[in-house]
Amino acid sequence: MTEEAFKLDNQLCFRLYTASRLLTQAYYPLLSEHGLTYPQYLVLLVLWEKDAQPVNDIAKRLHLETNTVTPLLQRMEKEGVLLRERGAQDARQMIVSLTPAGRELKNKLAEVPLTVGNAVICDRFTPEMAPELFRMLDDIIAKLSH
């Protein structure tokens, strides 16, 4: 292995980590004014797509463990954004649903995707390139998930 392999600038992981961290920072001012964190926003995105989901499904969709998602959901329930209720058919299953306040946040945060999207657009990355970037990142995620 060459010395080049150990240079920080040659590490894909470092670029992905830095981009992820900076992208999350871009969300902060937009979400914090509504009392939300970025992980809470991700939970809302999942529930806005399909309400009333089991905790396991939400965790799976976010590529997280349920023991990571559960405290997040508990905080969101205390803040009145969602409800957690035992499943009607399986009492071991916890079903998560949006409250009216949680549904209303979708309207309040309507500009967030466009605002953050515009923040990453630059000379070398255009909106037309996004689908290909998504495919490449999905391939990396799939490969690392096994």
User: Which strands, in side-by-side order, build the sheet including 94-98?
Assistant: 53-54, 94-98, 82-86
Provide the token pair at 24. 């999350």
Are 27 and 115 in contact by the 8 Å Cβ rule? The answer is no
Angle subtended by helix axes 12-32 and 38-49, to nearest 10: 80
Mean pLDDT of the chain: 94
As a whole number, mean pLDDT of residues 4-24 equals: 94
Are 81 and 44 in contact by the 8 Å Cβ rule? The answer is yes
What pLDDT was estimated at residue 90? Answer: 75
pLDDT digits (tens, 9 = 90+) for 27-75: 999 999 999 999 999 999 999 999 999 999 999 999 999 999 999 999 9
pLDDT digits (tens, 9 = 90+) for 22-35: 999 999 999 999 99
CATH topology of domain 9-145: Arc Repressor Mutant, subunit A (1.10.10)
pLDDT digits (tens, 9 = 90+) for 85-122: 987 777 788 999 999 999 999 999 999 999 999 888 88
